[in-house]
Amino acid sequence: MAKNDDGSPVRFGIMGCAVIARKLAAAIAVAPSAALVAVASRSIDKAQQFAVRNNLSKEVKLYGSYEELLEDPSVDAVYLPLPTSLHVRWVTAAAEKGKHVLLEKPTALDAKMLDEMLHACEANRVQFMDASMWYHHPRTLRMKGFVSNREKFGEIKSIHSSSSFHGSPNFLKNDIRVKAELDGLGALGDTGWYCIGAILWAMDQKLPTTVRALPAAIKNDAGVILSCRGSMNWGEEGTVATFHCSFVAHATQDLVVCGSKATIHVEDFIIPFDDRRGVFRSTIGAEFLELHVGWSVKGEEVVVGNEMVQEGLMVEELSRLVKGVRDGGVEPDLKWGRTAMATQLVLDAVRVSIDGGYQPVHMYN
Amino acid sequence: MAKNDDGSPVRFGIMGCAVIARKLAAAIAVAPSAALVAVASRSIDKAQQFAVRNNLSKEVKLYGSYEELLEDPSVDAVYLPLPTSLHVRWVTAAAEKGKHVLLEKPTALDAKMLDEMLHACEANRVQFMDASMWYHHPRTLRMKGFVSNREKFGEIKSIHSSSSFHGSPNFLKNDIRVKAELDGLGALGDTGWYCIGAILWAMDQKLPTTVRALPAAIKNDAGVILSCRGSMNWGEEGTVATFHCSFVAHATQDLVVCGSKATIHVEDFIIPFDDRRGVFRSTIGAEFLELHVGWSVKGEEVVVGNEMVQEGLMVEELSRLVKGVRDGGVEPDLKWGRTAMATQLVLDAVRVSIDGGYQPVHMYN
């Protein structure tokens, strides 16, 4: 059963059969260090439908409740694509059963809830990671090397990010992401999670000094955010950033990081246009030609191939960490919990700012 | 001397020998309907140096004062690359002498001053245009057609624009754009003029309901803005926009307009990378593929060639309007004054917001 020599694979259970779970089932299938061993839904029928639809091996155990899956000693790690409002309950339960956790974003309705989950993971010595797959694409690592190179890139001056899609009438009426009782953060928690994450990624997870939402956020009748914007800054002369996230605008996934000496532009930072390669444009040391009739250099396309889809790379990275804990006596890596917490804290600040009429929210962390 | 059959060319005088005047001298040289007939500086020496450096014909008259140029009856129109603080004085003087006006941006230190200039032009029946050259590039017209197509583009949901360059130590110390007494608006008036202009261009010059600057603007010791940001919105559920302008960040000229159904991206909207063609990317009706492993469509590059540099096209457009007034008894076109006024009003609001600690500024126009 082992797909490589580096110990037996990490055995995953999927808790919840949301559409997005199909993507993770496929990712686990391609990740050499992972194996899918169980699927649970609230009914055995749904679990069976999921198994058929995804061509799962007969060896994958199917459960009609999440509790049963968590009792299964053959499960090392669980993936939770459940609605955000259920995260605390099920992450805590999983951690207490010693299961490592891959959690769909947004991680929580607020940072306090995430804190509870992270402490449950720590207390039970299980690895935590949220399912922000784009961090694991080799393009992301290449971009990070570029923006972190102070000599070539200079100081980071400004960042702008957007993430949007135009939800269908059915989506805007029925999707869990527009339901107050399920995913109350709406577009801020869904597409905004990536925008905020990308800004913090560029800033090495350093929290801004001030966050504010910008008018006018759009909410549905239940008060769920369908579109909003935020602004951040780091001190009086430091980096500035803005983002826009929406369920009612055409598809965008823009990230622009502008340093004092160079820039990167990417238009598909979350889901690359092509699943086998990622592209970004870097521009270094551009000046305007004499009489301003052109630029001294044009942006250059950097192409970064990926042998495995980014979700597979994410599962592989989590599996590597889980193996360290399971087989090597290593402590769980707190990095991914901290990354999620930084995003959650800024997200909370944006929400507080919206609720307070777009007032600035100062951060003290 | 006539370069085409459509009446004699419009005879331009240049008032001031700033570096940027070299670009306009070249533009007048390539515009079929224009001819450079006079150059004035504060000293005859400077005017002579300018003539030599730009290989001007011996027929071009050289003046050691602006007043002399304005007295010359052979001059139809003047181009003013003077510091902003001198605009009211010299535009008013030019208008009173019946000279049509091409004014370098920012047009004024505030909208009240611009209003004075526009009324002087109107009273004297002279055409006004500010020297925002990018409006005249055929790429700009093509993009406008695209974003204005409600069927294909949908409603405009968000706009983001940036314009920056990394000023040299010499620039940051000595350029007129960082001198409080000459161009007190600094980066907001210079690169920010284009950002605000681009946002309003997309919005058909409709003013936002609310404008606010975003922290933290960077100023030099004299209080001149070196970097700042602004946010705008149109009503409670309408378009939102942000911009970033700077003298201390790497070269950017980004414009992204996101509709409900399509998007345009351009990274060199003010000065195209190539002076013979402009490129933008349009993306229409993009959706994420099943399991979110790609996009249904990728952005498409639209290439728009230009036979004449955009400054030449601007001079040609102004000359066309001037001929209408001079030869055809047509009234001056108020469109360009209105365009400049919209930009100036928003620019003023951003400045007021910065001075008031980043408070919202509501617009009543």
**ipTM confidence score:** 0.95
Measured between alpha carbons, how far is B332 from B341 in angstroms, rounded to an integer? Answer: 16
- B-chain CB neighbours of A165 within 8 Å are 287-288
Kindly tell me if the per-residue pLDDT of A1 is higher than 50.
Answer: no
- B-chain CB neighbours of A286 within 8 Å are 250-251
Kindly tell me if the per-residue pLDDT of A226 is higher than 80.
Answer: yes
Q: What distance in Å separates residue A15's CA from the closest CA in chain B?
A: 18
Q: What distance in Å separates residue A119's CA from the closest CA in chain B?
A: 31
Cβ separation A242–B229 shorter than 8 A: yes
Interface probe for A, chosen from B54, B175, B291 (most Cβ of A below 10 Å), is B291
pLDDT at A2: 40
Stated as kind and residue range, the H or E segment containing B308 is none
- B-chain CB neighbours of A273 within 8 Å are 294-295, 298
By C-alpha distance, the chain B residue nearest A236 is B216
pLDDT band of residue A153 (cuts 50, 70, 90) is very high
pTM: 0.96
Residue range A7-41, pLDDT digits in tens: 899 999 999 998 889 999 999 999 999 999 999 99
Q: What distance in Å separates residue B85's CA from the closest CA in chain A?
A: 23
Measured between alpha carbons, how far is A136 from A313 in angstroms, rounded to an integer? Answer: 6
Interface probe for B, chosen from A53, A211, A214, A266 (most Cβ of B below 10 Å), is A214
pLDDT at B365: 72
By C-alpha distance, the chain A residue nearest B310 is A293
Rounded to a whole number of angstroms, the distance between the first and last alpha carbons of chain B is: 46
Q: Which of A171, A172, A163 is nearest to A191 (CA)?
A: A163
pLDDT at A293: 82
DSSP annotation string for A141-190: HHHHHHHH-HHHH-SEEEEEEEEEEE--HHHHHH-GGG-TTT-TTHHHHT
Look over chain A and give the mean of its residue pLDDT values, rounded to a whole number: 96
pLDDT at A199: 98
By C-alpha distance, the chain A residue nearest B165 is A287
Domains defined along chain A, listed by start: 10-134+327-332 (3.40.50.720), 137-310+344-362 (3.30.360.10)
pLDDT at B1: 38
Measured at the alpha carbon of residue A275, what is the angle toward residues A242 and A166, in degrees to the nearest 5? 45
Q: Which of B6, B347, B46 is nearest to B196 (CA)?
A: B347
pLDDT at B290: 78
Cβ separation B216–A227 shorter than 8 A: no
For B186, residues 6+ apart whose C-beta sits below 8 A from its C-beta are B177, B178, B219, B220, B224, B225, B226, B247
Measured between alpha carbons, how far is B48 from B54 in angstroms, rounded to an integer? Answer: 10
By C-alpha distance, the chain A residue nearest B258 is A250
pLDDT at A290: 78
Q: What distance in Å separates residue A90's CA from the closest CA in chain B?
A: 24
pLDDT band of residue A325 (cuts 50, 70, 90) is very high
- A-chain CB neighbours of B218 within 8 Å are 237
Residue range A171-200, pLDDT digits in tens: 999 999 999 999 999 999 999 999 999 999
pLDDT beneath 50, residues of chain B:
1-4
Residue range A233-243, pLDDT digits in tens: 999 999 999 99
Measured between alpha carbons, how far is B214 from B162 in angstroms, rounded to an integer? Answer: 14
Average pLDDT over residues A84-105: 98
Measured between alpha carbons, how far is B8 from A342 in angstroms, rounded to an integer? Answer: 67
- Which of these ranges, A125-139, A169-183, A287-301, has the smallest mean pLDDT? A287-301
Q: What distance in Å separates residue A174's CA from the closest CA in chain B?
A: 18
Nearest CB to A299; choose among B20, B218, B267: B267
Kindly tell me if the per-residue pLDDT of A4 is higher than 70.
Answer: no
Q: What distance in Å separates residue A58's CA from the closest CA in chain B?
A: 23
